[in-house]
Amino acid sequence: MPAWPFESVPAAGAGGTTKVILRQDWDKTRVALITGGGAGHEPSHAGFIGEGMLTAVVSGEIFASPSVDAVLSAICAVTGEPGCLLIVKNYTGDRLNFGLAAERARQMGYKVELVFVADDIAIANAPQPRGVAGTLLVHKVAGHVAARQGTLTEVKAAAADTARAVVTLGLAFTTCTRSGEAPNLRIAPGQAELGLGIHGEPGARVIAATPARDLVATMVQELRPHLRSAEPLAVLVNNLGGTTPLEMNIVVKELIGSALGAQVELLVGPGELMTALDMQGISLSLLPLNAARREALLSDVQTPSWPGARRVSPVVLQPLPAIATRTFTGSEAPAVRGLIAAMCGALIENEAALNTLDRQIGDGDTGSTFATAARAVLAAMERNELPLAEADQLCLALGDRLGRMMGASSGVLLSIFFTATGTALGRKVALPQALATGLERMQSYGGAGPGDRTMIDALAPAIAALGTGGLKAAAAEAHAGAVRTAAMQKAGAGRASYVNAQNLTGVQDPGATAVAVALAAAAKTKA
């Protein structure tokens, strides 16, 4: 992948400490755009160098304005006959250093103009509003005009027009932390600061950290008086550094659903665009749209970090297809009824014992999980909801009940087992082979097999014995399989897989034991 077309160069006579980043492919035939400021706001500003946006960036130390010499070096490096425009955030250090550099450059014969960005509306009637994330929209509009051979006068006019129109407001739950310093705990848990600056300055006021919808509504309420009603807007949704992508997308959702939502035509972000180190917060920058600004924001650029502006389309929620609820017609088969009643009764009777066993290697709920399922099956049988006389339909009904009523992974696994078995029986597969099919599906989805210390260690040998030795042989093999798990020193699935060998040794797997208990009870009904 080719490197981005800019480089960092030391300023002449600056001892290599000045950080000037500029396009390598720049030929000085168009108006150059220069900006900069303190570090700590990455990807601003270097991430926006490239065709269609910035020509050069001057970086100071963290939150510190670059020196006059550094700015002058950038001007000299990229300015040709068409001249250059300095886009400056409205902080005292930036105004002074960029301003003096511009005066010195003019004295040297360069054409230099400045535009100051003061988009922060946090403090009412502030004599010098701060320049914050809205500056990026100024970069984009000015860069568009410059890329299309605009004159210095035209580029400056477009930048100044955008700077006058854009408004920004920030909100944060934490301030920022400089490397090597202790965290600033100024903002208490459960609170947020509205209108704080990008250098960690205190906000205009402290508010409760309410849900996202309310916070966005508060920000919108503050921003709306600075806009004309009903005008279409471009909105830049900026991550101040420590907010998660999930939270940023929630902000966008709530913004679109807010009182300003119908006016939002273009969206830039959400993303980390002008950050404040690790600050957990956001800012919203709003720019009213006209034909020129719309065209400028939608034009392509070649920069590392500009995310592009995209049109906001209405979100249309489509209903998902309804999943038909399966219903089963009950039928009677006394032998099957007795078999199920015995197995469920044994699981309920052994609920406490199985829980005690599970507490030694897990979270202690295996007995309750199987007993809950057993009670649900007995209740369905009492309501005549189980097709006891049709083996395939009975297995499908059990799979349906267990998937909804049993809970935990055991419930899903047994639901898969019975559903696959019932499907196979419906295709006229013999019962032993149908059960083997159910077991294969259970292993495929669950990821465990014999020897992994799960219920499969009892179920697999039981199914293998059923075809030749009947239910009594199956119960004996299930019991032997469950006993063997006590000697297995590593589990291949489930919570027991996180338990060391010392704690597993001598303890039967509770799932395998539950299978053995149920089959032992079933075998007694055939005695």
**Cβ neighbours of residue 464 closer than 8 Å, sequence gap 6 or more:** 436, 477
Helices (H), 25-91: 68-78
How many CB atoms sit inside 10 A of residue 512's CB?
26
Helix (H) or strand (E) holding 420: helix 408-426
Candidates 45, 139, 144, 199; catalytic one: 199
- The set of residues, in sequence order, having a beta carbon less than 8 Å from that of 392 and lying 6+ positions away, is 422, 423, 425, 426
Please give the torsion angle defined by the CA atoms of residues 43, 49, 52 and 53, in that order, rounded to the nearest 10 degrees. Answer: 70
Per DSSP, the three-state class of 311 is strand
The verdict on whether 199 is a catalytic residue reads: yes
Task: Give dist(CA 136, CA 174) in Å, integer.
Answer: 23
Cβ contact 255:235 at 8 Å: yes
Alpha-carbon separation of residue 33 from 102, 142, 356, 413 (angstroms)? 13, 8, 73, 63
**Element holding 310 (H helix, E strand):** strand 309-311
- Asked whether the beta carbons of 32 and 78 are under 8 A apart, the reply is yes
Cα–Cα distance, 222 to 262 (Å, whole number): 17
How far apart are the C-alpha atoms of 98 and 105, rounded to whole Å? 10
439 CB-contact burial (10 Å; exposed 0-12 / middle 13-18 / buried 19+): buried
Q: Which two tokens stand for residue 336?
A: 């099957």
Helices marked H in 193-281 — which ranges?
212-223, 245-256
* 201, 175 contact by CB (below 8 A): no
Cβ 296 vs Cβ 145: under 8 Å: yes
Give, in degrees to the nearest 5, the angle at Cα 121 between 37 and 272.
Answer: 50
Q: Where are the beta strands (DSSP E) in 78-117?
A: 84-89, 112-117
Catalytic site positions: 199
